[in-house]
């Protein structure tokens, strides 16, 4: 008897568990991609710092140093813009996956006939709880 109860409980919760696994996969992909992007941003920062150190040691004069500084800032800025666009694409892709996941869940929740049955059951349960007749 106890095994039958546990089995029925597991059967009832299996769809919810699968749904949460799908959501977890979406979130994991997004986090993995965003971690890669964060690594790229850190690399840009390190490259900028190394470039700064080289400029301080290699520049022969102030004017040359300022020009090299502008060039380095422009390069780092361009790379950051590209990485920012990549991050925006990852977030948009994750949003689209999440929306599709939600729509899939809602389509299952509002299957023809099921929603009416569930509403009817709720109404019946309320009337039974309050003692009112239909």
**Residue % of the chain over a pLDDT of 70:** 73
Looking at the 3D structure of the chain, how many domains does it have?
Answer: 1
What is the C-alpha to C-alpha distance for residues 36 and 33, in angstroms, rounded to an integer?
5
| Helix (H), strand (E), coil (C) string for 7-56 | HHHHHHHHHHHHHHHHHHHHHHHHHHHHHHHHHHHHHHHHHHHHHHHHHH
Domain span including residue 24? 2-130
pLDDT at 11 exceeding the cut of 90: no
Cα of 107 vs its chain's centroid, Å: 21
Contact 34, 120 (CB under 8 A): no
Report the share of the chain in percent with pLDDT over 90: 49
Indicate if the pLDDT at residue 125 is higher than 50. no
What is the overall mean pLDDT for the chain? 81
CB atoms within 10 A of CB 18: 10
User: What is the reported pLDDT for 77?
Assistant: 95
How far is CA 123 from its chain centroid?
A: 38
């Amino acid at each position: 008897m106890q095994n039958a109860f546990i089995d029925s409980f597991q059967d009832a919760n299996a769809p919810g568990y699968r749904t949460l696994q799908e959501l977890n996969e979406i979130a994991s992909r997004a986090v993995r991609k965003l971690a890669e992007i964060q690594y790229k941003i850190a690399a840009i920062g390190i490259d900028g710092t190394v470039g700064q150190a080289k400029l301080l040691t290699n520049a022969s004069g102030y004017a040359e140093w300022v020009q090299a500084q502008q060039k380095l800032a422009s390069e780092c800025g361009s790379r950051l813009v590209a990485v920012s666009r990549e991050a925006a694409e990852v977030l948009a892709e994750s949003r689209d996956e999440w929306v599709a996941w939600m729509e899939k869940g809602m389509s299952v929740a509002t299957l023809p006939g099921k929603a009416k049955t569930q509403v009817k059951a709720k109404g019946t349960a309320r009337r039974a709880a309050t003692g009112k007749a239909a």
